[in-house]
Amino acid sequence: MCTPVFKRLVFTSLLLLSTSLWAEEHEVLMLDSDPAEPGRTNVFSPALLFIEPGDTVTFVPTDKGHNSAAKRGMLPEGVERWNSSIDERFSIEFTTEGVYGYLCVPHYELGMVGLVIVGDDLANLAEARKVRHAGAARKAFRQLFDELDAQLAERDGN
Ligand SMILES: [Cu+2]
């Protein structure tokens, strides 16, 4: 009864099942002010997020007037940009490993930006880091890359 085709079917369904069981869902809140640092306004929380390929991230419009849009030049090769509507609860599945930079369109120049780090292959890290930014986004991305460097160093050190 265990024909090769049957075996393959069983294997494929187990594979699909395990993928959906292992894939995690994450939330990034879009906020008027940072709960950890109340003086900081217009933030994604967490602004630096580490996930695995196949995981889903939902951008939650906790406060009004924000959106999530991928930043040109800050995506792995071949990945399409996203641009959600203002106040939209927006989910996106990340299947390609790499560094993803994004921003809130109304508050980009005020520094409302974020990074999603997918998996371990960060081949586009150097390129993403080179992208130029306007206003407070420059400092905000620099801080996120510094934090990323620190986390990666810690990961490599252990
Ligand atoms: Cu915003």
Distance 71 CA to ligand 1 centre (A): 14
- Which residues, including other chains, have CB under 8 Å from residue 91's CB and lie 6 or more apart? 56, 57, 58, 59
Q: What is the SS3 assignment for 155?
A: helix
Distance 141 CA to ligand 1 centre (A): 15
Please, what is the Cα angle at 43 between 87 and 39, to 5 degrees? 130
Res 69: pLDDT: 98
Distance 51 CA to ligand 1 centre (A): 22
Q: Which residues pair with 101 in a beta bridge?
A: 115
- Which residues, including other chains, have CB under 8 Å from residue 78's CB and lie 6 or more apart? 96
Distance 142 CA to ligand 1 centre (A): 18
Select from 20, 22, 28, 21 the least CA-distant residue to 90.
Answer: 28
113-139: pLDDT as tens digits: 999 999 999 999 999 999 999 999 999
- Which residues, including other chains, have CB under 8 Å from residue 43's CB and lie 6 or more apart? 31, 33, 34, 112
Average pLDDT rounded to a whole number, residues 75-96: 97
Q: List phi, psi (to 5°) of 132.
A: -85, 150
Is 23-155 a CATH 2.60.40.420 domain? yes
* Residue 15: HSE in the Cβ half-sphere, 13 Å Cα cutoff: 6
34-68: pLDDT as tens digits: 988 888 999 999 999 999 999 999 999 999 999 99
Near ion ligand 1, which residues have CB within 5 Å? 42, 66, 104, 107, 112
Average pLDDT rounded to a whole number, residues 29-33: 97
Distance 106 CA to ligand 1 centre (A): 5
Question: Is the per-residue pLDDT at 12 higher than 70?
Answer: no
Query: In terms of pLDDT, which residue wins out, 154 or 15?
Result: 154
Cis preceding linkage at 76, omega within 30: no
Q: What percent of the chain has pLDDT over 90?
A: 79
- Tell me the whole-structure pTM to 2 decimals: 0.86
What is the distance of C-alpha 74 from the center of its chain? 11
Res 21: pLDDT: 65
Distance 52 CA to ligand 1 centre (A): 26
Please, what is the Cα angle at 148 between 52 and 115, to 5 degrees? 60
